[in-house]
Structure 1
Amino acid sequence: MAVQTQRIPARKRRPGGRLAVLGERDFTWFFLGYATSLVGSSMAPVAVAFAVLDGEGGSGGAGGDSGGGTALGWVMAARILPVVLVLLAGGVIADRLGSRRVMLGSDLLRGLVQALFAGLLAAGHAPVWAMVALVALWGIGEGLFMPAFGAIVPDLVRRKELMADANTLLGLARSVSTVVGPATAGLVTAAWGPATVLLVDAATYGVGAFALARLRRPLRAAAGGGESMIRDVRAGWSEFTSRPWLWITTVQMGLFNLLVWAPFLVLGPLLAQRDLGGARAWGLVMGGYGAGAVLGGLLLLGRTPARPLAVASVAALAWALPSGVLAAGAGLPWVVAGALVAGAGSAVCGTLYNTTTQKWVPVELLGRMTAFGVLGSFALGPLGLAAAGPLAGRFGADAVLLLGAVWQLAAGAVVLAVPAVRNRRWEEGPDS
């Protein structure tokens, strides 16, 4: 009888249960709004880039280069820097006010920014300084949104065994948007100009805000307020560092972005141009990565490993493949195959990390824990992007990519050797 009772639930989940999480009304509303806004968000960078490069900014640039690479660099940096600066404050605010309020405000802010941006472009009065200011506000909205997003899923899913499926579907939405969004943006920009794309993005943020407003279930709001924000950040840091499984995996991801992913993004196109046939080849490689991420999400849907962090750490080893095959001088089919496997690994790794954090961290700390995790994971990425070219010039692009691949395998082995990562089981409850 004991064996029977264990098998029946598993059998029920396989045919119709993999999408059972869509039976959770609040999650379904949130998923639809988030997926819609993701498509707009993935379209917008294409429009912004062409707005700058095509000289849509008018005469506001310095030295007549408002439409050139220098101006584009300023605009891109103006979006990223506020995200990093606001993340920790966003985590505190999410824990104090509740995730839905913060995300609703972020969607409204970003939608307003994109509508203003579209209006300026359509009117032909968008100097570079104005674009920098607008994308900085956009970045502030994103920095507030990210920690709140990491904390909201437990509030939306009543059946906690479905949290992994919820995160898998959200990851699938991200993967699909990275393929659909840029392609759509290119077509729309070519036909009607970047202002139209930004107006569409503003509308998708409106859809996201509408979905958040439609949520019925009373969501958790932290009992915030008494302590200063700095004390809340310090308290959050103390809680973060007290969880070895959390800070160790965050350090691993931070060094991965520095040593593996950033060099791959910079040097991959260079080697594709040199050895594989140029931009078309690189498009196939990144398309393979996106397809792998979708495939990995579909394979994970309806499954919860007994030791999720161990499985996530094994999946993360796949990130060594694209850099390794490029460094080895393999042909295009092998590079695309490596990217496909890495994409699948990224979907599995990201979903399991998000789910375990939401399950094992007390809800009143989730905003700050997410903020520290995101900051630690991505803070070194810009340094890796800046250093990849000079290091390749000194040591060779192949050597830099090979170092990253070896590092990823070695770091994965070290992380798997940590008992707090390897032995932590799904059934364990929140850390106290």
Structure 2
Amino acid sequence: MASTRALLWKDQRFVALLTARTLSMLALAFAPVALAFGVLDLPGATATTLSVVLAAESIALVLFTLIGGVIADRYPRDRVLQGAEWTNALLHVALGVMFLTGHAPLWGLVTMTFLAGTAGALVWPAITGIIPQVVPAHSLQDGNALIGLGGNVARVAGLVSGGIVVVAIGGGWALVGAGAAFALAGAFITRLHLPPVIADQPAAASVLTELREGWVEFRSRTWLWVCVLQFSAFVMVWQAGHLVLGPVVAKQALGGAGAWSTILTVESFGLILGGLVAMRWRPRFPIRMVVLLSFLGAPPYLLLGLHAPLAAIAIGSFGLGFAFELLTILWQTTMQTEIPPEALSRVSSYDALGSLALGPLGIILAGPAADAFGAHHVLIVCAAVMVATSAVALSVPGIRNLRARPYAADAPLAPDSPADVGPAVSLPY
């Protein structure tokens, strides 16, 4: 496996993709802390104010994710991703300027985050489809892990430096820095030069036809739609806890932005460890392991709800980060080997839509619920939902029994072999 990773490092397109994704994750690490505490520091702002701003982005993701999947399957995915990165660059600079100038009306913040969510709806379907176009089939898990590892190292750097910037001079400059990183990410994407996957698709094919074809692929796999249902509820309470309730508790009881940045930074070290483990471990039943790992999502929110000390919450967040990175790589690799390449972005858009569908509801309800019942009590409910949904998903035989596909070859490709090949196994379509 080490030799396959060495070959990946020699592939200029993979290095460009890795660099772009790392820069994008650096930007994403800067932005949440800056935005959350920038909003909470506004005159008269409450947890409900933060809920409204963040819900706008989440709603846009839900509304446009399916269209994002069609676009990423129909057009060159690198151009789709490049456009999304550069749009995010402009929007985050605009948000930073709003905070720096002191002119940050609620309607303006909501507009910017809604547009950022629209751009974000293109990112996941595009990147999911790009990776198997660049990485050889037998190296997919290594490729996914390396990209995740680069992103998580950037996440640690971004959270540490972003937290310092927020505490020292405010969130505006952190958001401007995030915009610059998004712009650089888009520049590196220009080096990929990928063709459309469906080069011979009839021009008459409608968006609805393409969505229908993606839906057939999605619903035909029990493990896929059951896990997506699980994560629909899971993400609802995760977004409530991670984006609204956690920062509120940090501000009220843990010391503010510095404490929350510490929690997120320790979580990121868990993400790095998860990526390193994914490079060496190939579980025989990957989706079973995905669900088992999801149980580790609950402890940090339970600890936050129980007024635990910062150190204990950070340890719980480390476990969450480890589990989420490892399960994400296992999930993504399984999708890339089980789903036909020409439908992969559309299927991943159904995955994203289902997983994110209840996210806006969680964000919208989190602020009012925290104001009415206390953020600590609501966080305990979030942890309980995570455990319950994971247990239900684990009871489904199709999830427990799906075996990892053996690759056609365990040896790496020769140095001059093409990297943009499809899965090396026969897919059941």
TM over 0.5: yes
Match of 1:256 among 228, 234, 243: 234
Match of 2:28 among 34, 41, 45: 41
Partner in structure 1 of residue 74 of structure 2: 96
Supply the AA of the counterpart residue of 1:25.
Answer: Q
Partner in structure 2 of residue 201 of structure 1: 178
Q: Residue 367 of structure 1: CA displacement?
A: 1.2
**Residues 1:184 and 2:165 are matched in the alignment:** no
Match of 1:293 among 267, 271, 276: 271
CA distance 1:110–1:388, change in 2 (3 Å): closer
Deviations 1:267-320 (A, max 9, x none): 55666678x755466554433322212211122223322221122222112223
Instruction: State the distance in 1 between where 2:227 and 2:289 align.
Output: 13
Match of 2:341 among 345, 355, 363: 363
- The count of residues paired between Structure 1 and Structure 2 equals 407
Q: Residue 404 of structure 1: CA displacement?
A: 4.4
1:42-191 alignment, distance < 5 Å = 42-48=29-35, 68=45, 75-114=53-92, 129-157=107-135, 159-188=136-165
Match of 2:188 among 187, 208, 211: 211
CA distance 1:174–1:411, change in 2 (3 Å): same
1:264-343 alignment, distance < 5 Å = 266-268=244-246, 277-279=254-256, 282-326=260-304, 332-343=310-321
- The 3-state SS of whatever aligns with 2:280 is coil
Q: Residue 228 of structure 1: CA displacement?
A: 1.9
Instruction: State the distance in 1 between where 2:110 and 2:384 align.
Output: 38
- The 3-state SS of whatever aligns with 1:236 is helix
Instruction: State the distance in 2 between where 1:285 and 1:50 align.
Output: 15
Q: Residue 192 of structure 1: CA displacement?
A: 6.8
Q: Residue 208 of structure 1: CA displacement?
A: 1.9
Partner in structure 1 of residue 17 of structure 2: 30
Does the 8 Å contact 1:360/1:430 carry over to 2?
yes
With the length of structure 1 as denominator, give the TM-score of the two structures: 0.79
Q: Residue 257 of structure 1: CA displacement?
A: 2.1
Does the 8 Å contact 2:240/2:362 carry over to 1?
yes
Instruction: State the distance in 1 between where 2:277 and 2:148 align.
Output: 12
Does the 8 Å contact 1:267/1:397 carry over to 2?
yes
Supply the AA of the counterpart residue of 1:154.
Answer: P
Greater gyration radius: 1
Partner in structure 1 of residue 427 of structure 2: 430
Partner in structure 1 of residue 421 of structure 2: none
Instruction: State the distance in 2 between where 1:331 and 1:126 align.
Output: 34
CA distance 1:269–1:222, change in 2 (3 Å): same
Instruction: State the distance in 2 between where 1:125 and 1:269 align.
Output: 23
Instruction: State the distance in 2 between where 1:76 and 1:273 align.
Output: 17
Deviations 1:47-69 (A, max 9, x none): 556766777xxxxxxxxx6x845
Instruction: State the distance in 1 between where 2:247 and 2:39 align.
Output: 22
CA distance 1:160–1:135, change in 2 (3 Å): same
Q: Which runs of 5+ in 1 are unaligned?
A: 1-12, 56-64
Supply the AA of the counterpart residue of 1:237.
Answer: W
Instruction: State the distance in 2 between where 1:176 and 1:247 align.
Output: 31
Match of 2:225 among 242, 247, 268: 247
Partner in structure 2 of residue 9 of structure 1: none
Structure number with higher relative contact order (C-alpha < 8 Å, ≥ 6 residues apart): 2
Deviations 1:76-117 (A, max 9, x none): 344333222111111111111131121122223333444556
Match of 1:417 among 381, 387, 395: 395
- The 3-state SS of whatever aligns with 1:301 is helix
Q: Residue 352 of structure 1: CA displacement?
A: 0.7
CA distance 1:356–1:119, change in 2 (3 Å): same
Alignment root-mean-square deviation, CA: 3.6
Identity of aligned residues (%): 34
Instruction: State the distance in 1 between where 2:299 and 2:402 align.
Output: 27
Q: Residue 193 of structure 1: CA displacement?
A: 6.5
Deviations 1:175-226 (A, max 9, x none): 3343322432344466777665444334323322222221256563454442
Does the 8 Å contact 1:313/1:412 carry over to 2?
yes
Does the 8 Å contact 1:269/1:278 carry over to 2?
no
Supply the AA of the counterpart residue of 2:363.
Answer: L
CA distance 1:228–1:175, change in 2 (3 Å): same
Deviations 1:335-375 (A, max 9, x none): 33322222211111111111111111111111111111111
CA distance 1:46–1:333, change in 2 (3 Å): closer
Does the 8 Å contact 2:74/2:198 carry over to 1?
yes
Does the 8 Å contact 2:30/2:178 carry over to 1?
yes
Does the 8 Å contact 1:305/1:426 carry over to 2?
yes
